[in-house]
Amino acid sequence: MSDLTAVMPLPSPVQPFRYRRLGQQLFVGGILPLDAAGALIGADDIEAQTHAVFRNLQAALSAAGLQMADLVRLNTYYVYEGEEAQATVFWEKMTRVRLQYFPDPGPAATAVRVHGTGVRGALIQLEAEALAVPVAQRQRIMPAKSWDWSIPVPLSQGWRVGSQVWVGGQVSADRAGKAISLSDLPGQTRNVLEHIRHVLLDAGAQFSDLTQLKICYLHDGDQVAAESRLQDILNVVRATCGEPLPPVTAFGVNLLYEGLLLEIDATAQVEVEHQRAVAGNGNRNWTAGVQVQRAGASIQVAGQSVAAQGFEQACNEVLQGLVAQLRTVDCGPEALGHLHVLVAANAADSEPERAMSLFTRALHRLCGEALPPFTVVRVNGLPGGAALQVDAVAVEASPA
């Protein structure tokens, strides 16, 4: 896009992570394989970069007075562009390193293969959420009827802490970690939702308690086919979960397991009142579902996009619309805990750092110097052919 090539200074240095603690909750975003000076660590080496991002995660947790055992959610975005026959080998190299850092029991986790990050050469990026709550007050969710990973890991299918429930990424797989219902999109969607249902049931929740759904769907470069695939998934989700849907974020990726067509993770809140707003506030309301949902002190904003002509304009308009969504539930940008910044393939491929700079500037205009954590991920495609989609989680609590 033309405005990405304009002459303008880049952030110096690009930070290896950002974190914000709001009450008992800690959000860490944009955890990249960078050193304190913003230089890339371990070029072309997924193992070195995985060590680097987990050390940066540990540093963020330590700075906030927490540790790895306090994690309740961890999302991993990784980049692989080699021969498909070696994709699993790449994932296993990354995971062998991750296993050295995962606590036992570990967080609810999602790992998806993406097009890129906001920094050229970065092969992995993390985002995380942790709670300053004693272990005795947390409930690990590991349903008897669930799928399992193909190699032993200490990760969890879900966690409940107080009224909050986190559901890790669910796929259409069996107890041996083998993909099932191959090439059957409705069948895979029902399998995934059944896994989510069992996590919710064990946490004392149900579909009506959902506060957010994040849908990763197969996008192999054909936008029309990917769009049809997403709509078919949403049709099954609506029929299974009921309407209106909670805030939804959806983005197209290249899934690891051959034959898998989607992955979904979720959050829920139980035993608290839910306040929902559907108004679009000028942004693209592509799900026709709830755009912002408040449950107690927690607020989720669905993935927001606009039909802007340039990337810089899109950043400004999406963020303005996102704040307008927060206002509908009596909240403001000062409560933002984390933002997902999803950039469609080719929208920033030549200069991803410049795209990150443009988004950072737009966020500065709304939030001032105290920026909330955000994670920039370049994905294969977005609903409606959008170049940019941003969702957010906010918590109305004073920073500790």
Percentage of residues in the chain having pLDDT higher than 90: 76
pLDDT at 319: 96
* CA-angle at 392, arms to 23 and 329, nearest 5°: 75
Single pTM value for the model: 0.93
The answer on pLDDT for 4 being more than 50 is no
Confidence of residue 351 (pLDDT cuts 50, 70, 90): confident
Output the six-digit token pair for 312.
């810089």
- What residue segments make up the domains of the chain, in order of their start? 2-395
- Tell me the average pLDDT across 326-349: 91
What mean pLDDT is reported for the chain? 91
Contact 88, 256 (CB under 8 A): yes
- Tell me the average pLDDT across 69-83: 95
pLDDT tens sequence across 141-192: 999 989 988 788 999 999 999 999 999 999 999 988 888 999 899 999 999 9
pLDDT at 5: 29
pLDDT at 75: 97
pLDDT at 280: 56
**Separation CA 192–CA 197 (nearest Å):** 9
Contact 132, 65 (CB under 8 A): yes
Instruction: Return the closest-CA partner of residue 59 out of 128, 109, 112, 121.
Output: 128
Q: Exposure string (b/e) for 384-398, b if CB count within 10 Å is 16 or more? A: eebbbbbbbbbbbee
Confidence of residue 345 (pLDDT cuts 50, 70, 90): confident
DSSP bridge pairs for 18 = 29
Instruction: Return the closest-CA partner of residue 290 out of 300, 276, 303.
Output: 276
The answer on pLDDT for 241 being more than 80 is yes
**Separation CA 370–CA 399 (nearest Å):** 11
The answer on pLDDT for 35 being more than 90 is yes
pLDDT tens sequence across 379-393: 999 999 999 999 999
Higher pLDDT, 203 or 220: 203
The answer on pLDDT for 318 being more than 70 is yes
Instruction: Return the closest-CA partner of residue 345 out of 18, 94, 81, 83.
Output: 81
The answer on pLDDT for 400 being more than 90 is no
Query: Which residues are within 8 A (CB) of 69 and not within 5 positions of it... i.e. 6 or more apart?
Result: 103, 135
The answer on pLDDT for 9 being more than 80 is no
pLDDT tens sequence across 361-377: 999 999 988 899 999 99
Residue 239, φ and ψ in degrees, nearest 5: -65, -30
Confidence of residue 278 (pLDDT cuts 50, 70, 90): confident
pLDDT tens sequence across 101-122: 999 999 999 999 999 999 999 9
* Range from 243-247, 306-310, 358-362 carrying the lowest mean pLDDT: 306-310
Higher pLDDT, 92 or 166: 166
CA distance to 5, 14, 356, per residue, from 352 (Å): 11, 12, 6
